[in-house]
């Protein structure tokens, strides 16, 4: 068997997607291991959850750096210390630039709580409800310099119910996030993603 791909997860908050990735990585047949969880927010809830699962954690607080470039170089350094080969952004509330992406080319994933390209940005559920869509969902995509715009790896649809609020819709979408993020990481770790322009082909 190939050695497991070392995954780094970047968070800013409660880290429920990080936990779903950590649980997947803990399964014997999963082709990735969670090497480190890094937060840019010192008190992020996800840090305690990761530590409680025996996973290495680190804080790289963006406020300690003069600019985005030096913040990203510090992030890269921590990830390199843990020999990270691929990165999953999981509720990481900072834009990443080419400096970060070129350290892990084609190997940075993000999860977004809508069916992209609909409703990018920080208020996906609010925007989806305001627009009156009947189906929303979630997307795992490869990260590019344009926010929420990279090639799509996996999506799941979630019907909008009458009377849904941001919270009730978010809760049902989150269940699907926890299912598709590990699936996307598995495909990346198995080397089964072929990117052709915007399209990601999944090899059998």
Rg, C-alpha atoms of the chain: 16
Q: What whole-number distance in Å separates Cα of residue 201 and Cα of residue 192? A: 8
Shortest distance, CB of residue 73 to ligand GRF, whole angstroms?
A: 24
The DSSP bridge partners found for residue 196 are 199
How many residues touch ligand GRF under the rule CB under 6 A: the total is 14
The nearer residue to ligand GRF, 112 or 141, going by C-beta atoms, is 112
182 binds ligand GRF (CB under 6 A): no
Closest approach of Cβ 44 to ligand GRF, in Å? 8
| 38 contacts: CB under 8 Å, gap ≥ 6 | 8, 9, 10, 11, 57, 58, 59, 60, 75, 78, 79
Structure tokens at 107: 């190997």
- Find the helix packing angle between 45-52 and 16-25, rounded to 10°: 20
Which of 69, 61, 65 minimizes the C-alpha distance to 100? Answer: 69
Phi-psi region of 191 (alpha: psi -120 to 50; beta: other; left: phi over 0): left
Query: By beta-carbon distance, which residue lies closest to ligand GRF?
Result: 91
Between 3 and 42, how does the x/- string for binding to ligand GRF read (CB under 6 A)?
Answer: --------x-xxxxx-------------------------
Least distance from C-beta 1 to ligand GRF, angstroms?
Answer: 29
Q: Which residues are catalytic?
A: 112
In the range 117-136, which residues lie near ligand GRF by CB under 6 A?
Answer: none
Q: Which two tokens stand for residue 62?
A: 């963006």
Q: At closest approach, how far in Å is the CB of 66 from ligand GRF?
A: 26
C-beta closer to ligand GRF: residue 73 or 94: 94
Token pair, residue 53, equals 């699962």
Question: Near ligand GRF by CB under 6 A, which window of 23-31, 76-84, 106-114, 143-151?
Answer: 106-114
- DSSP, collapsed to helix, strand or coil, labels residue 85 as coil
Among 177, 182, 185, 187, binds ligand GRF (CB under 6 A): 177
Question: Smallest Cα–Cα separation from 92: which of 152, 178, 13?
Answer: 13
Minimum distance between the CB of residue 113 and ligand GRF, rounded to whole angstroms?
A: 4
Nearer to ligand GRF, 45 or 73 (CB): 45
Residue ranges that bind ligand GRF, judged by CB under 6 A: 11, 13-17, 46, 90-91, 111-113, 174, 177
């Amino acid at each position: 068997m190939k050695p497991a791909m070392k995954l780094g997860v970047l968070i800013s908050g409660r880290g429920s997607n990080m936990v779903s990735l950590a649980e997947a990585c803990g399964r014997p047949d999963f082709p990735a291991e969670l090497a480190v969880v890094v937060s840019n927010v010192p008190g992020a809830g996800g840090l305690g959850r990761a530590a409680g699962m025996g996973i290495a954690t680190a804080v790289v607080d963006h406020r300690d750096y003069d600019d985005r470039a030096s913040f990203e170089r510090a992030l890269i350094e921590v990830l390199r210390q843990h020999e990270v080969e691929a990165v999953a952004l999981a509720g990481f509330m900072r834009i990443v630039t080419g400096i970060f992406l070129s350290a892990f080319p084609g190997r940075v994933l993000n999860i977004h709580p809508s069916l992209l390209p609909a409703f990018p940005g920080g208020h996906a559920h609010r925007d989806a409800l305001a627009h009156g869509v009947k189906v929303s969902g979630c997307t795992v995509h490869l990260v590019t310099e344009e926010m929420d715009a990279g090639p799509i790896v996996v999506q799941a649809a979630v019907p909008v119910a009458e009377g849904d609020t941001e919270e009730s819709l978010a809760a049902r979408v989150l269940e699907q996030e926890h299912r598709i993020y590990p699936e996307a990481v598995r495909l990346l770790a198995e080397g089964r993603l072929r990117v052709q322009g915007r399209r990601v082909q999944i090899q059998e």
